[in-house]
Amino acid sequence: MTTRILTILLSIALFSTCQSGGGQKAQNDNTEDTDAAVDSLRYPQENHLKNVRQLTFGGDNAEAYWSFNGQYLSFQATNGSWGVECDQIFYMPATGYSGEKPPLVSTGKGRTTCAYFLPGDTAILYASTHLGDEACPEVPRSVQGKYVWPIYADFDIFVADLNGNIIKQLTDNPGYDAEATISPDGTKIVFTSTRSGDLELWTMNTDGSNLQQVTNELGYDGGAFFSPDSKKLVFRASRPKTDEEVALYKSLLAENVVQPTNMEVFICNVDGSDMQQVTKLGKANWAPYFHPSGERILFASNHHTESGRQFNIFSINVDGSGLQQITFDNTFDAFPMFSPDGKKISFSSNRNNGGSRDTNVFVADWVE
């Protein structure tokens, strides 16, 4: 869910930058030859995926979220061949874009993250730093000798039409407001904010009213999504426990950075009640998303590799049982998102990138 993750986990997952000569046009030919080629994008062990199709070709492309009608995907991209030096928001048909690049929704200024269609699919929600500074912000890699993610204080949440015109600014509180997604019933937004002094989950109505704090335990709560019935939230969280961990977390947050190396998946009711830790795997478990049944969660993790440099998508029951590996790329798979009808899944991967560090958006049929 966040380009902090895409941009900075790149160092962990060994991907970043743009492929030279990138910006190929997506191909949407439905011939048998194309279908055979598409099958080659699926690893043999990936039994839950079928008809894997690559939608972007070059650069860093991630967090592809479905429109309510299932016909489009919003996503964020860094691609030098598009003149985009840090993440900006684009959208495209779920079959791939045509032309040299897809339509730009964000301003092209600052850094953006987490684009999500609003009900009706005529507007997109996203966070941007452009009001604080129109330049791409610096990306700190190490603070106090620790590997970190930036928490840009200039992030605020905006709504734009599909032509890129900002319709409304939903947040103007000092500090970080980002990682916003919308409930399937179209009534609420969940986002991460530092307005309480810590990185907590908040909800608000789609017009920005009725702010409610959801989480209140020390640590980074972020990347939240609603359950299919809009009654629960799934998110990633760090939970510093020892005095040393707490002191380090607070000192880093004061410098607008956090460590991403120890996160687990949690669920709770939308009001924050019935909080449950789903994973207890160690390392980085993040980018969670509910299965259409509401009984399972897909998420990205590096817990299964000693080096921590390989990320794959896993499935787990909401009670923490039934862990199953879903994808098997040897570098990076993450950001799994189900289409509204539950028949397809979008995700980002380093597969088929010609040995570069490019990360692209893929769509596949979901097989139970």
- How far apart CA 90 and CA 40 sit, in angstroms, is 27
What would the DSSP string read from start to end of 320-354? S---EE----SSBEEEEEE-TTSSEEEEEE-TTST
* pTM of the predicted protein model: 0.91
Tens of pLDDT, residue by residue over 261-278, are 999 999 999 999 999 999
Q: Hey, which residues does 166 pair with through a beta bridge?
A: 160
Whether residue 96 is predicted with pLDDT greater than 70 in this model: the reply is yes
Does 18 have pLDDT greater than 50? no
pLDDT, residue 39, reads 78
For residue 162, what pLDDT is reported?
98
DSSP assignment, residue 207? T
DSSP type of residue 120: T
Contact 50, 95 (CB under 8 A): no
58, two tokens: 């070059």
Alpha carbon 278 to chain centroid, angstroms: 19
Residue 247 pLDDT > 70, yes or no? yes
Count CA atoms closer than 13 A to 159's CA, side-chain side.
17
pLDDT at 314 over 70: yes
Give 208-223 pLDDT, tens digit per residue: 999 999 999 999 999 9
Instruction: Kindly give, in sequence order, each residue whose CB lies less than 8 Å from that of residue 211, ignoring residues fewer than 6 positions away.
Output: 202, 203, 204
Which helix (H) or strand (E) segment is 246 a member of?
helix 243-253
Query: Would you call 292 exposed, middle or buried from its count of C-beta atoms within 10 A (0-12, 13-18, 19+)?
Result: middle
When pLDDT is cut at 50, 70 and 90, the band that residue 28 belongs to is very low
Q: What pLDDT does 107 receive?
A: 98
What is the predicted pLDDT for the residue at 359? 98
Mean pLDDT value of segment 335-352? 98
Confidence category of residue 109, pLDDT binned at 50, 70, 90? very high
Report whether pLDDT(245) > 50: yes
Provide the pLDDT for residue 141. Answer: 86
For all residues of the chain together, what is the average pLDDT? 91
3-366 homologous superfamily = TolB, C-terminal domain (2.120.10.30)
